[in-house]
């Protein structure tokens, strides 16, 4: 769908300890300047996951931290092969960190959680239990959110309502990083920009079952937030992208062509009206702004129609050139390789 942003990952292998068995659960943790939280985060994650009695891995993605975050993660990873550390060369952003974590995850279930300890690792079993009911995506809902009202909670409330309305996937809290996914869901999604918060909406294209679950939320105990009210603008722009990807990415002519036809029709109607009053009543129309508007609408409408046609050609070249499917298979019964064409 979109380009994957894992090209800048540090290629070195971090771990030297003996590798554990293949995990069934992967926990992805983006980290950026969280040295004060890492010791307690690691301790609480290990305690919560050990209690589940299933093989797991923790994938900490260091997003170009400038403090001792990577050194602290590396120290623990050398003693614990279940902790895998991926280090970026520079700060690429939270979306890139999640994308890298999804790429490296080996478990059939992937859980994401922030490193700031505002989410509780002890809530991870609740998400897993909810997934066992048959859901593909379980999103955390910070029902009792412990953040400033004006700078964080109010913009988030508005954004969540708008996102739910535009995408048709109704969640109370798109911004909560504590989420659980089936691996096949996130493995089929490429991310960029700020799109990590829209994963449930993007995944809806695959026909997944999405639900949410109230989770605990705490004030930040150390460090400082990396996000402010200015992020709202980026979220709105990415929302426009998501809406287009969900509705028209494989049929651009239906959006560009529809608008183009409407504008061309309106411009033609204006031109016909002006032509009629010129021929029937001899009215002067050369100095009327309405004439310029009619011509402008016709020109812009034709351009949009051409954009729609070019978009259709690009989409077909994209899918056919890469043999990229336009559908996702959930399961097969008595399946086998496809018939040769």
Residues 79 and 66 in one domain: yes
Sheet holding 83-87, edge to edge: 83-87, 56-62, 25-31, 109-112, 179-182, 137-141, 210-214
| Alpha-carbon span 137 to 202, nearest angstrom | 11
Domain limits for position 172: 25-248
Is pLDDT above 50 for 104? yes
Q: Whole-prediction pTM value? A: 0.72
104 and 195 together in one domain: yes
Higher pLDDT, 175 or 183: 183
Say how many CA atoms lie within 13 Å of 266 toward its Cβ.
Answer: 14
16: which DSSP letter?
A: -
- Tell me, yes or no, whether 10 lies in a domain: no
Average pLDDT over residues 49-60: 93
**207, 222, 248: which is the final residue of a domain?**
248
**Is 176 inside any structural domain?**
yes
CA–CA distances in Å: residue 153 to residues 28, 199, 234, 335: 25, 21, 17, 48
What percent of the chain is predicted at pLDDT more than 90? 45
Q: Which residues, in sequence order, are CB contacts of 90 under 8 Å at separation 6+?
A: 8, 64
Residue-averaged pLDDT of the chain: 82
Domain-embedded: residue 328: no
Asked whether residue 18 is domain-assigned, the answer is no
Same-domain status, 281 and 148: no
Tokens of 240: 């426009």
Whether 35 is in a domain gets the answer yes
pLDDT band at 73 (very low <50, low <70, confident <90, very high): very high
Both 240 and 262 in one domain: the answer is no
Looking at the fold, whether 113 and 191 belong to one and the same domain comes out as: yes
- Whole-number Å distance between alpha carbons of 44 and 114: 13
Does 11 map to a domain?
Answer: no
Residue 332 lies in a domain: no
More confident residue, 252 or 147: 252
Each residue's pLDDT tens digit, 239-254: 777 777 777 777 788 8
- Distance between CA atoms of residues 122 and 119, nearest Å: 9
Higher pLDDT among residues 167 and 52, named by residue: 52
CA atoms within 13 A on the CB side of 329: 8
pLDDT digits (tens, 9 = 90+) for 231-242: 666 777 777 777
Burial of 15 (0-12, 13-18, 19+ CB in 10 A): middle
Which pLDDT score is estimated for 227? 55
**Same domain? 129 vs 42:** yes
């Amino acid at each position: 769908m979109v380009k994957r942003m894992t090209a800048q990952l540090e290629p070195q292998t971090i771990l030297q300890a003996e590798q554990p068995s293949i995990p069934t659960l992967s926990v992805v943790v983006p980290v950026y300047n969280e040295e004060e939280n890492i010791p307690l985060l690691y301790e609480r994650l290990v305690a919560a996951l050990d209690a589940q009695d299933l093989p797991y891995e923790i994938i900490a993605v260091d997003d170009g931290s400038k403090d001792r975050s990577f050194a602290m993660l590396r120290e623990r990873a050398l003693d614990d092969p279940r902790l895998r550390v991926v280090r970026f060369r520079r700060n690429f952003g939270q979306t890139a960190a999640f994308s890298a974590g999804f790429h490296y995850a080996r478990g059939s279930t992937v859980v994401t959680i922030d490193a700031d300890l505002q989410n509780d690792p002890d809530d991870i079993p609740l998400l897993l239990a909810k997934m066992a009911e048959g859901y593909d995506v379980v999103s955390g809902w910070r029902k009792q959110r412990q953040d400033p009202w004006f700078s964080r909670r109010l913009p988030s409330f508005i954004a969540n309502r708008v996102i739910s309305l535009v995408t048709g996937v109704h969640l109370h809290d798109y911004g909560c990083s504590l989420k659980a996914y089936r691996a096949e869901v996130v493995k089929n999604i490429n991310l960029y920009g700020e799109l990590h918060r829209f994963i449930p909406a993007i995944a809806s294209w695959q026909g997944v079952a999405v639900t949410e679950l109230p989770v605990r939320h705490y004030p930040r105990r150390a460090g400082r937030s990396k996000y402010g009210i200015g992020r709202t603008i980026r979220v709105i722009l990415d929302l426009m992208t998501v809406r287009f990807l969900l509705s028209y990415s494989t049929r651009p002519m239906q959006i560009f062509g529809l608008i183009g036809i409407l504008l061309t029709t309106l411009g033609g109607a204006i031109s016909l009206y002006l032509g009629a009053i010129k021929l029937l009543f001899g009215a002067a129309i050369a100095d009327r702004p309405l004439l310029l508007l009619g011509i402008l609408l016709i020109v812009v409408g034709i351009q949009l129609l051409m954009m729609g046609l070019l978009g259709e050609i690009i989409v077909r070249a994209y899918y056919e050139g890469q043999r990229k499917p336009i559908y996702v298979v959930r399961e097969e019964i008595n399946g086998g390789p496809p018939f040769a064409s």
